[in-house]
A and B are shown apart, each in its own frame.
Chain A
């Protein structure tokens, strides 16, 4: 087997600060696959919150920083579809009048992958020897499914997880209502949306809801726990890195 290129982890800020075990799960996965992993120090945030709020000048600064940090990375892997969407599709817009930076952004965009996309489409693996004994439902987050077209890959991976029973929810690709600062500016609308999401999640009877974006999962978890609803969230990386019997990955 030819040596796979070193994977540079692009750890979404929410994962870094609030869900570090998701990042660790990714490291485990690549260790298991014998793929060298590195974590470019100095990475912060891709700039998405500013971009989506219209503050493109601030977003541009964040993007510049990102390009600097990941300049030499061979492949960049992120456990978040919306951040990958930001780098791949919005960075070129930010530099549309600066040809050199634009080219750099496009090159880096081409090397940036969402985790499940990289595993399935590039590495060609679906079976990671994981086990997760629970009824689980999958949420298609917006940018991941619509902009990056990633729907098949996470399902292919989940189908190979021992003990996992995937129960599809109705309207799995309906937005959970997070939307970054939207969730703070329009809390009532945002909450009504996540309640609808939770309605479809609970209807499956699943114990866990998983997905490829921690921001949506954080929103779902935050609402579910506020309402004491019987469902837990788990990032797909945690499921895929989990081995052994009933002891599930938790959010500790």
Chain B
């Protein structure tokens, strides 16, 4: 049975037909995608990205030790560290902390890991109010929507839609002026930030040498969310850690450049524990949740380990020609674009997300732009291999027996040139019914209709190159013979 996870196609179509989204994506890719490529070309140190990757891979090599060091340093300052194997464990832990502190309101900093574990819903089900404080995330939350870009969550909405939303939900007078809208959000959010009982953030980077986590933002919301509420809980994917401050420096440079062409974001917050007598800044309690949730399995597979080097800058979304047409919702995951197409199946099931593995052209643009030179096309190709042949380690069932049979037959033909050419020539004879005057085929039946519905297909030539070559050979032989005869 052909396996079609039609949701991807359906959502992709919605994206393609959404004019507003198309307009935003065009702008995003023109500015950020091209911009990042230019930045990399202008880096004075052209080896920087390769070295950063090397460092990342080295750290991943002994990730357990590096994480242990990070945890120790944070604990030494009175911070609490929890290793969560699964999303459920992470959610339970965070819920428990919330209960202990009788939390009514949680303010959030933008975090994809929090979306991965689905913590919002878990907290809301306990009657806790959860408020996003990143402007884009806040808009998406108000709209009861999901982010469509890992850095620019509401890229799919324009200011007219946002204006309508704000009038409806915040009760402000209609305005499409971005500063006015931002101010309205700011006023509401500030109140929440000042009164919340818990701040919940992600973690862009963590550094074992210093025992800190690092959060970048341009709105200042992170700084407030991590310092105003009495409790700060940060969730980090376990691969986010780097070993040394030196490595941290390089990655921070690459992260903000890749994400938004900035040498440095407006704010960089470092959190390494609760406020102390000698350092009064910070929350009363600091918790770091280090999440596995499938990452160990990726780490253990040399083919895919590389994907854990990702610093989630989103640059690959800004250049991908598929993302550029379909937008982020099609991926149906907190992680969209090329990185999402690789990490989502690995974290959440390869069969389940077969369309993400197959729905790209492997053009390689993501590899070129990635600050850590991740070879996503290579990994997509390997994911497809698992789908084609099945894989026990990854619990993958072969996805389409029909396709497999077709390729087996095809491979046999490839190895039998005579029959191969005869088959093609037979197709050439059968094609006339669909051929137009210019020798192009239209309205083909069966699977070929998927091509010809939107495109014409050139007909099989009456004389293939192979035939023409054979004729040329026999002609030149004949003429050689002729001139030979004359010389005799």
Contacts and interface: CB of A to CB of B under 8 A. Distances in A.
B13 A54 contact: no
B325 A225 contact: no
Interface string A28-64: 0000000000010111110101111111111101101
Contacts of A15: 465
Nearest to B451: A184
Contact of A18 (B16, B358, B460): B460
A218 B458 contact: yes
Interface stretch (A19-27, A119-127, A131-139, A154-162): A19-27
A183 interface: yes
B455 A147 contact: no
How many chain B residues sit at the interface, stated as a range, is: 35 or more
Contacts, number: 193
Interface in B403-455: 403-404, 407-408, 410-415, 417, 420, 424, 428, 438-440, 442, 447-448, 450-451, 453-455
B455 A55 contact: no
Nearest to B324: A196
B453 A187 contact: yes
B458 A142 contact: no
A222 B326 CA distance: 22
B427 to A, nearest CB: 9
Given A189-B16, A192-B325, A193-B325, A146 B365 contact: yes
Interface stretch (A97-105, A174-182, A202-210): A174-182
Contacts of B411: 47, 50, 55, 57-59, 61-62
A30 to B, nearest CB: 12
B485 to A, nearest CB: 24
Contact of A222 (B324, B360, B383, B440): B440
A65 B419 CA distance: 14
Given A24-B468, A55-B403, A47 B414 contact: yes
Interface in B382-404: 383-389, 403-404
Secondary structure at the A interface, as helix, strand, loop or mixed, is helix
B267 interface: no
A226 B455 contact: yes
Contacts of A42: 417
B20 to A, nearest CB: 15
A27 B326 CA distance: 42
Nearest to B459: A18
Contact of A182 (B358, B456, B472): B358
A98 B459 CA distance: 39
B385 A54 contact: yes
Contacts of A219: 455
Interface in B349-392: 357-365, 367-368, 381, 383-389
Contacts of B321: 174-175, 177, 193, 196
Contact of A54 (B359, B386, B469): B386
Contacts of B448: 184
A58 B407 CA distance: 6
A223 interface: yes
B440 to A, nearest CB: 6
B389 A223 contact: no
A191 interface: yes
Contacts of A221: 456, 458
B170 interface: no
A46 to B, nearest CB: 9
B461 interface: yes
B407 A18 contact: no
Interface string B448-487: 1011011111111101111111001000000000000000
Nearest to A14: B458
Interface of A: 11, 15-20, 22-24, 27, 39, 41-45, 47, 49-59, 61-62, 64-65, 142-143, 146-147, 173-175, 177-180, 182-194, 196, 218-219, 221-223, 225-226, 251-252
Sorted from nearest, which 4 A-B pairs have the closest CB atoms? A54-B384, A179-B361, A222-B455, A54-B388
19 contacts: A11-B466, A18-B461, A19-B458, A20-B461, A27-B469, A41-B417, A47-B411, A50-B407, A53-B388, A55-B404, A61-B415, A62-B411, A179-B362, A184-B448, A185-B358, A191-B454, A191-B455, A223-B455, A226-B454
